[in-house]
Structure 1
Amino acid sequence: MNRIPTDTLVVVADGEGARIFRNQGSEAAISLHQYDLLELMNMNDDGPAGSMPSESSGKQVDEATFAKQLAHGLNQGALTQQYQHLVLVADPGTLGRVRPLLHKEVMQRMVAEVGKTLTNSPLEDIERALQ
């Protein structure tokens, strides 16, 4: 795993929500502190990312919509200098939906990408996965 600098934004997401952390520790000793929790909002105002097959379930549409909202938030944060470094932890499906929507500014700030489902995991498990 790459070194995770102090104050790195760490986003732990799945198709339904995301926990937002900052590394308050050092590169050698990660210490994550959660400061936000994101959930799907304004579903009727915001559609899914990309085209969805007509046989998609409501859950699949919701997950694609959340991925689009998450990518938009990360793009906005990078473009307004809200973070310098980013670690994105998400299940492979969510990563696959978010990645093509990320602005090049976000990609340049990406320190690491982890394809695991850790959204509901204890903080210690998330920190361990990043070391």
Structure 2
Amino acid sequence: MQSIPSGAWVVVADGGGARMLQNVGEAKAIKLIQQRLIEPQNLDGEGPSGSQPKEVDVEEATFAKQLANRLNDGALKNDYRHLVLIADPQTLGQVRPLLHKETLERLIGEMAKTLTNASIADIERVLH
């Protein structure tokens, strides 16, 4: 993964929520601080259409859609210039196709790992 510039958003997600972190250090000396937690909102009626999968799968797919919408909104409003997305493989696979062109242009790295419950220090180590 390329270096992570100061100010970059690092989003660590799984099907049940996400942590939005920001690099306040330098590109070669990452120092992450947590900006906010992102939790699923009103999961009724926003899920995937078609056949009815298990409820937990619907909730995870709905959250992936909500997360992609939030990342897209941030990119379109220029809230961030660089993005690193770390998510479990299933969530990453659900979010990636929903990302807007502007979001993809800001995506400087992605990692298929489950780190939502990891400490900030552990996430920093994985990114070095």
Identity, % of aligned positions: 53
- Secondary structure at the residue paired with 2:110? strand
Superposed, 1:1-131 pairs within 5 Å as: 1-44=1-44, 46-48=45-47, 50-51=48-49, 53-54=51-52, 56-131=53-128
CA distance in 2: counterparts of 1:11 and 1:52, whole angstroms = 29
**Does the 8 Å contact 1:30/1:127 carry over to 2?**
yes
Amino acid at match of 2:65: K
**Alpha-carbon offset, residue 51 of structure 1:** 3.6
Give TM-score scaled by structure 1 length: 0.94
Structure 1: stretches of 5+ with no match in the other structure:
none
Aligned residues of 1:15 and 1:63 also touching (Cα < 8 A)? yes
Root-mean-square deviation (CA, aligned residues, Å) is 1.0
